[in-house]
Amino acid sequence: MRDFNMIIDGQPVATDHHLSVVDPASGQPFATVPAAGSAHVDRAVAAARAAFPAWSRRPEAERQRLLHALADALEANMPELMELLTRETGKPLSGLNGIGAGMEVGGAIAWTRVTAGLKLPVEVIQDNDDARVEVHRKPLGVVGSITPWNWPLLIAIWHIMPALRAGNTVVIKPSELTPVATLRFVELANAILPPGVLNIVTGERDIGATIAAHPDINKIVFTGSTPTGRKIMQSASGNLKRLTLELGGNDAGIVLPDVDPKAVAQRLFGAAFHNNGQTCACLKRLYVPDSLYEELVAELARIARGTVVGNGLMSDTQLGPVQNRAQLNYVHELVEDARARGARILSGGQPQAGGGYFYPPTVIADAVDGMRVVDEEQFGPVLPVIRYTDLAEVVARANLNDNGLGGSVWSNDAARAAEVALQLECGTAWVNEHGAVQPDAPFGGIKQSGIGVEFGRYGLEEYTSIQTLKVMKR
């Protein structure tokens, strides 16, 4: 059993009460972390606020240098961080199509380096004999970060790095289910950053609520469920905090009639099942034309039955366990509801016997809109496949969902697919791909999938306020 400490004002902080962190491959605890109270949040926010003036005044080149040093620390400690991620999330070290703990740490390094290189130059609106008008981007102050359990380290990096790059200081609260890799990273980071610039508190959900409502926090960035996002908006209204919310997704993919089912099935399977389907922007509803339907669902089921499910520490494992017992039960509940309503379960469909929270990849045929497994975000290793005959009608059905994170169109005619993709009501649309994000392109949701964007210049701007400077010349 490994014990971790919080880091507040550059110092390790322990508590009298602790939380156990469970390895989902065994269902047994493997680590303990502090159970913070509201006083710990107050200390962390006070430390971040005290550190803000000096940090925000640091030359940009110096902040960039320190972010690159954080990337170096991630790289130097990559094997340890990978193992911690696998132990707490269940995801394999490598994983299906190379999407696992190694990819998560590698992505964290890449995002840190790209973010370090971003710039927010002064924009000149007017410069004539009368006046010069400039637009400056200024840091907000203290940023509160609340992260989920599915990509705990990578999403922490997505929150932390633009905040620091823009000149803000941070208090982060990781999910109580997966806090250990983030705790270890913040420990490493505090050997590089000035005290108070990056603080971490761990605890139950009430600690997240305390952060959301704290009057000395200027912005909240949250990744997680839509219901929790709504609560954060309400709590943040007390001092009109800025918000970036990346919330739930129920992404639709539409296959056009010109594709070869055998050629496209492996890519569709990877888009739906990487990280066990526990990704906001996974492909979660697949619409297939009637002419291709039976061949494609059969091919998807064949791939599913050949996928290696097991402990993520084993080198041949492609998919690990579902991260927690409650999510496992929810996934199975959706599958059973579909089964009871006449859907065909072509693969999987039952939790695996033995220890851990294992559920094999499950392909559901004869799914229809209105089934819970179609209308709700499964966030697990389940893919409902829905028939269609009319393209315009199926685009309307895909858009009917309250979520609007991502969507995709699959075709041999990329130009035609792009025309269809632009009709989807979502923040990101892909052609012949789904869920691929990158650190220099904005990513965010519409409708009930969130507010604001992350990544690149657009994401960095969300950690700043605008100040307009007008200098009269006569």
Which of 88, 104, 176, 246 is an active site residue? 246
User: 88 an active-site residue?
Assistant: no
Q: Which residues contact 117 (CB under 8 A, 6 or more apart)?
A: 64
CB 352 within 8 A of CB 360: yes
Matching residue, tokens 């700043």: 464
d(CA 320, CA 385): 23
Q: Which of 117, 116, 139, 141 is nearest to 192 (CA)?
A: 116
Tokens 């269609």 correspond to 388
Count CB-CB contacts under 10 A for residue 233. Answer: 16
Residue type, position 20, single letter: S
DSSP structure string for 298-326 = HHHHHHHHTS-BS-TTSTT-SB---SSHH
Q: Is 246 a residue of the active site?
A: yes
The DSSP bridge pattern shows strands 403-404 and 446-447 to be antiparallel
Q: Which of 241, 283, 216 is closest to 436 using CA atoms?
A: 283
Tell me how far apart the alpha carbons of residues 26 and 336 are, in angstroms, rounded to a whole number.
24
Locate 384 and state its tokens: 């409902």
Question: Of the listed 104, 176, 280, 377, which one is catalytic?
Answer: 280
180 and 256 Cβ atoms separated by less than 8 Å = no
Q: Rounded to whole angstroms, how far apart are CA atoms 171 and 132?
A: 38
Q: Which pair of structure tokens corresponds to residue 351? A: 């939790």
Dihedral (C-alpha) 454, 458, 461, 467: value to the nearest 10 degrees?
-150
Question: Which residues belong to the active site?
Answer: 246, 280
